[in-house]
Chains A and B, each alone.
Chain A
Amino acid sequence: MQYSEKVMDHFMNPRNVGEIDDASASGTVGNPRCGDIMKVDLKIVDNIIVDAKFKTFGCGSAIATSSMATEMIKGKHIDEALRLTNQAVASALDGLPPIKLHCSLLAEQAVKKALLEYYREHDLLTDENRPLFKVVDDDAHDHGEETID
C-alpha cells in the first residue's frame, strides 16, 4: 500500500484528535464489522465551526482523512463546510489509493451527519441544502443504517 507523504503525515500526526464535551453537534458513521468508524464533534458559534474533533477506528487512510477533513472545516461557516466533498479531502491529501476512496467518503459523511444534526436543531434545512446531505445516506459498505427523515 503506497500512501502519499501527506497521508502519512496526517496518519502519524493526526490533527484534532479528541472529543468536545459541549459539542454543538456530533456525527458517527461506519460500522465496527467493516473495520472503520468515524466520530466527529463540532463546536459551532454564530454558524461558524470554531472547533472540530474526531475519533476514528480504522486504517491509515481513515485516520488521515478524518484529520484532514476536520482541518478543512475548522473556522469555516457551516454552509461552506457543507460543501466539503470526499474528493476534496482526498486531493488535499495528494490522493488516496483507489481501494481507499471509501475512507474519504466516511469522513465526508461524518462531517455532514454532524452538520445535519445542527441544521435540524436550528431549523436551517431548506430545499436547497437538503440534497447536500444526501451523502449521509449513501452506504460505503452496504451496511446502511442511517437515514434522513
Chain B
Amino acid sequence: MAELTTRTYFDHAATTPVHPAVLEAVTDVLKNSYGNPSSFYREGQTASHLLAEARATIARLIGASDASEIIFTASGSEADNHAIKGVCEAYAGKGRHLITSTVEHHAVLHTMQHMEKQGFEVTYLDVDRTGQVDPDAVRQAIRPDTILVSIMTANNEIGTINPIREIGAVCREKGVLFHTDAVQALGAIPFDASDLQVDLASFSAHKLYAPKGIGALYVRRGIRLGRLIDGGAQERNRRAGTENVAFAVGFAKALGLAVDHMEENRVRLTAMRDRLIEGLRSIPHTKLNGHPTKRLPNNVNVSFEFIEGESILLLLDAKGYMCSSGSACTSGSLDPSHVLLAIGMPHEVAHGSLRVTLGHGNTPADIERFLADVPAIIKRLRDISPLYADYAKGNIRNLISEASNDDTLLETSYAI
C-alpha cells in the first residue's frame, strides 16, 4: 500500500520510541563495555561500575534512600509479579490477605488471581466514576492478616492518578506493606517513594523513551522478598541472571531526561491534552473517561456512542493516526476493557472508547489535524450503525448526552 499519509504516533502509553540520547548511551555500552559485571577482570568491573551508576541514578530519581533498593527486571510486568509473589512468599507466615483495585494492570490482577489459587485471599477495591481508589476504602479493607496493598499510581487506560500518598500513609499506619505499579507515572509526574510512603514500586523503561526489555522494582530496605528467578547471586541475590547493563544505563539516562524536563513536558502535554479533550467532547454523544484533572498529562480517553472502537482505530490508522481502544475486539475477548467497566461505563459505551496518549513527537498542529479528521470518521461509522439509526428514529434513547462537553451518563443500557 502506498504510504502517502503522515504517520502520527498517539499511543505513548503502549510504548515510546527510544530517545536518541538514550540510544547513544545504550549503544556505547554495547560497543565498549561488553563485560559481565560478575567477572573479576577489568572489563567485568567496568560493566559492574556502569550498572552501579545506573542503579544509583534511578534510586536517587525515584526517591529511594539507597541504590540497593533497586532491583532491575526485564519488564514492568516482572516487577509487579516479583513484588506480589515475593511478598507473599516472604510474609505468608504473617497473613494471607491481599488488597488491590479492580482497575489494576493485568500484570497485577492476574498475579493476584494466581495467588488466590495458592490459597491467598484477595480484596478487589472498587473505584469511583473517575477511576480513583478511596484511601478510606483501603483502611476499611485492611485486616489483621493483610500483608500487602497494591494500588497503581496512574492508570494506563484512563490516566487517572490515585491518591498514593494518602494510601501510603494508611498502609504505614496500619503496618501493611504497600506496592504501587508506577509504570505509567514514572517520568510523567513526580514520584518519590520515600515521600509517598511506598514500600515497593514497579517501573518500566520503555514507557519513558528507553528500550523495551528492562524495568525495575523498588523494594524499601528491610523488606524481605521471595525470588522469582533462581540461579546466580545477581541483584543482591534477589534476581538471578546476567544483568542487562546497556539497557540499565539507557533506563537511567532516560529517567534523567524525563525528570530534568518534567515540568516543561507537563505544561506542553497538558495543553495539548486539554485541547484534544475539548475538541473531541464537542462531538455529540461523546464522553470523557477518567478524571478531568487528576490524570496523566498525556492521556485522553473518550467514548463515542453508537460505534465500536476497532472500527474507529482502523479508520484512524488509514488516516495515519496510531491510537488504541478498550473495545472487546481490540482486547481480544468478548468483554470491553475491565477499567472502563469498573468506572461504571455500560458495555455499549465501553466498546466505543478511544485512547490517545501523547508524547515527545506530537505537536499542537498534530492535535488540530486530528481534530479536523475525527468528526468525519465518527459520522461515517454512525451513518452505518443500526444503533444510531434507531436513536435517530426515536426507537432507543441515547446513553451519552448529545450536548458538547457533557459527560453525563443518561442511561445504563438501551431500553427496548
Contact = CB atoms under 8 A, between A and B. Distances in A.
A43 interface: no
Interface stretch (A26-34, A74-82, A85-93, A111-119): A26-34
Interface stretch (B10-18, B155-163, B326-334, B361-369): B326-334
A117 B412 CA distance: 31
A33 B413 contact: yes
Interface stretch (A51-59, A120-128, A129-137): A51-59
Contact of A35 (B308, B383, B384): B308
A59 B308 contact: yes
B318 interface: yes
A60 B384 contact: no
A148 interface: no
A1 B348 contact: no
Given A12-B318, A55-B389, A32 B414 contact: yes
B250 interface: no
Contacts of B67: none
**Interface range for A:** 20 to 34
Interface in B322-366: 327-330, 332, 334, 336, 346-348, 351
A55 B384 contact: yes
A96 B88 CA distance: 43
Contact of B348 (A8, A32, A58): A32
Nearest to B351: A35
A83 interface: no
A34 B383 CA distance: 20
A54 to B, nearest CB: 8
Most buried by A among B332, B351, B384: B384
A141 B335 CA distance: 10
A36 interface: yes
Contact of B347 (A3, A34, A56, A58): A34
A33 B384 contact: no
Interface in A1-60: 1, 3, 8, 11-12, 14, 17, 19, 28, 32-39, 54-60
Contacts of B328: 34-35
A56 B385 contact: yes
A14 B384 CA distance: 9
A55 B385 contact: yes
Given A99-B332, A100-B329, 11 more contacts: A8-B314, A14-B384, A19-B389, A33-B347, A35-B308, A35-B328, A37-B386, A56-B384, A56-B386, A57-B306, A59-B309
Interface of A: 1, 3, 8, 11-12, 14, 17, 19, 28, 32-39, 54-60, 62-63, 99-100, 141
8 contacts: A1-B310, A1-B330, A12-B315, A19-B389, A33-B413, A34-B347, A37-B386, A55-B384
